[in-house]
Structure 1
Amino acid sequence: AMVSIIITLLGVYSSITLDTERRQKEVAVRKVNGAGIRHIIWLFARLYIALLVVTAIISFPLVYMVLQWWKQIYTVFFNCGCWFWTGIFLSVAMVTALTIWFRIMRIARINLVESIKNE
């Protein structure tokens, strides 16, 4: 499970890195027009929050159904409760949020001239 989580977080990190690098010019133009760091953070975070919520809405019922099916196969099964899955979701969401926060803060503090000159 830990390997899967690490691979997922590396995928999220590479995705946000590619997204922020691709949108550097947009961020620079928004900063010139007066957007603050909070607006830039919300610009990127809105997409990733929506992805997290949609993924959770789709995956939680599927995981629940698979675990119910799996529970019927075995006589001894780990009986996890709602708080167990909530804890897993919150821990993965927090680590993902910290990863995204790091990349967004880095892109929000870019030098405008260097960003536009590189394009």
Structure 2
Amino acid sequence: GGRFLVSVWDRLEDNPVPRITHETIATFFPSDPAQFYTIPFSLHDPAVVSRLLEGAGFVDVRWERLHKTGTSPSAADAATGLIEGNPVYVAIMQRRAAALADIEATVARNVAAAFGDHPLRCPLRAIFFSAQRPR
């Protein structure tokens, strides 16, 4: 036996800075929006994750929502990480590499308008699961 611990992001709608990033990037590619941000936020239903864990043989599945505050020295730093630090960067490079600086600046501006700047502070929501593996 053993204990399995995992956390997943809650809904994209409940994580506003990634949501703003996703929506802003989409405005640059309206006919072919990058879909990366829909993936890490797709396992937000505790019932679905619980069924997956139980289907894998785990018991005593428990979960709780975590409400945290994310911080970044600036909205521009956050925008750089949110874009260049994950696969959405590849999607941007494939669609229109020359737009990268404009996209990052627009994301930074939109995020700062919603949550401030120097530093940026924003709400984050995740779901923490624990489950037991029987012997």
Higher helix share: 1
Higher strand share: 2
Q: Shorter-chain-normalised TM-score: which range? A: under 0.3
The structure whose RCO (Cα within 8 Å, separation 6+) is larger is 1
Per the normalisation by structure 2, the TM-score is 0.25
Per the normalisation by structure 1, the TM-score is 0.27
